[in-house]
Amino acid sequence: MLRVEGLSKHFGGFTAVDNVDFSLEKGEILGLIGPNGSGKSTIFNMLSGTLKPNAGSIQLEGKEIAGTPPHAICGMGVGRTFQIPRPIRRLSILENAALAGYYGQAGAVTREQAWRSAEEALEMVGLPTNADASIDTLGAAGLKKLELAKALATKPSLLLADESLGGLDHSEMDQAADMLKNIRAELGITIIWVEHIMGVLMRVVDRVMVLDHGEKIAEGRPQDVAADPKVIEVYLGSDADEVAAAASRA
């Protein structure tokens, strides 16, 4: 459903993403990993329309979307979450999701339908659907769930999850990972999951793509990628143990 070819992005003289190709089948969960500054977020922002690529193409269901503004990409069925949750604090939890439900479906729905998609999305991620619960009642894990609910309320066919589970404890991480699995199973949504921490991700994804310095250095099944010497080298040092742990889990 998604085909990315020769995608590149420079910031001044710095090459953040260099000639990256990948594609995605319907219903797949693709993990996108790499150390800090490897270009994950830049790719993510180009997919969601926040950044314009300098070169390359992004085709969604055969349609070129590179350089399309974010709201239009959202309207085409691409939902995204933000790494650091960005709720609208002056709206309630339900209103946050309902806003996404209304505008994310390109205004082609009634208010009632928007509110219903919002409630469904909140239920899916396990948040309360009562009308005026304030954002302030949510903790770190709750805010991440709301990010997901907002993206789901737009009824996406492709979900870009900038999960970054740092800041959550182990049970919360597992919960979040299971949630993505459920979303795929129940709603048939294709997912790209961007993550810095490898462990939990490996358990859920069908395929992993590893980035380093803006280049794709490995791609394949989680267990193969985790055993790849290039990947181990990239993660060597601070994350070496984690790679080993991930390999054993996978």
Partner 1 sequence: MNSKLLIAVIAAILVALPFIGLDSYPLHLVIVILIWSFAYTGWSIMGRFGLVSLGHGAFMAIGGYVTALLWNELGLSPWIGIPVAMICAGGMAVLIGYPCFRFRIVGHYFALVTLALSEVVRQVIIATRDTTGGSLGYTPERHGDGWSVIALQSDDRTIFYFVALFVWMAGIVIWRMVDRSMARYALEAISEDEDASAAVGVQVTKEKLKVTVLSAVMTAFAGAMYCQYQMFISPDTIGGVGISLQIVFAVVVGGIYNSLGPTIGAVITLLLAEVLRIWIGTEAACITDKICLNVAGVPLLVYGIMLVLFIIFLPKGIVGACADRWRARGNNGALAK
Closest approach, Cβ 86 to partner 1, in A, equals 4
Residue from the set 21, 95, 172, 174 that interacts with partner 1 by CB under 8 A: 95
Residue from the set 26, 61, 67, 89 that interacts with partner 1 by CB under 8 A: 89
Sheet holding 158-162, edge to edge: 78-80, 158-162, 190-195, 29-33, 207-212, 215-220
Q: Which of residues 105-124 bind partner 1 (CB under 8 A)?
A: 105-107, 111, 114
CB 116 within 8 A of CB 110: no
Question: Amino acid identity of 202?
Answer: M
CB 232 within 8 A of CB 56: no
Residue 98, interface with partner 1 (CB under 8 A)? yes
Provide the mask over 191-230, with x wherever binding to partner 1 is found by CB under 8 A and - wherever it is not. Answer: ----------------------------------------
Q: Which of residues 10-49 bind partner 1 (CB under 8 A)?
A: 48-49
Q: Which stretch binds partner 1 (CB under 8 A): 123-131, 150-158, 205-213, 240-248?
A: 150-158
**Closer by beta carbon to partner 1, 8 or else 154:** 154
Residue from the set 145, 150, 184, 216 that interacts with partner 1 by CB under 8 A: 150
Cα-based angle 124, 126, 128 (whole degrees, multiple of 5): 115
Residue 69, interface with partner 1 (CB under 8 A)? yes
CA distance 220 to 239: 20
Whole-angstrom CA distances from 132 to 94, 110, 120, 121, 246 are: 7, 20, 16, 16, 41
CA distance 24 to 229: 24
Residue 153, interface with partner 1 (CB under 8 A)? yes
Take residue 57 and report the two structure tokens written for it: 């193409």
List residues binding partner 1 (CB under 8 A). Answer: 48-50, 69-71, 74-75, 80, 82, 86-91, 95, 98-100, 102-107, 111, 114, 150-151, 153-154
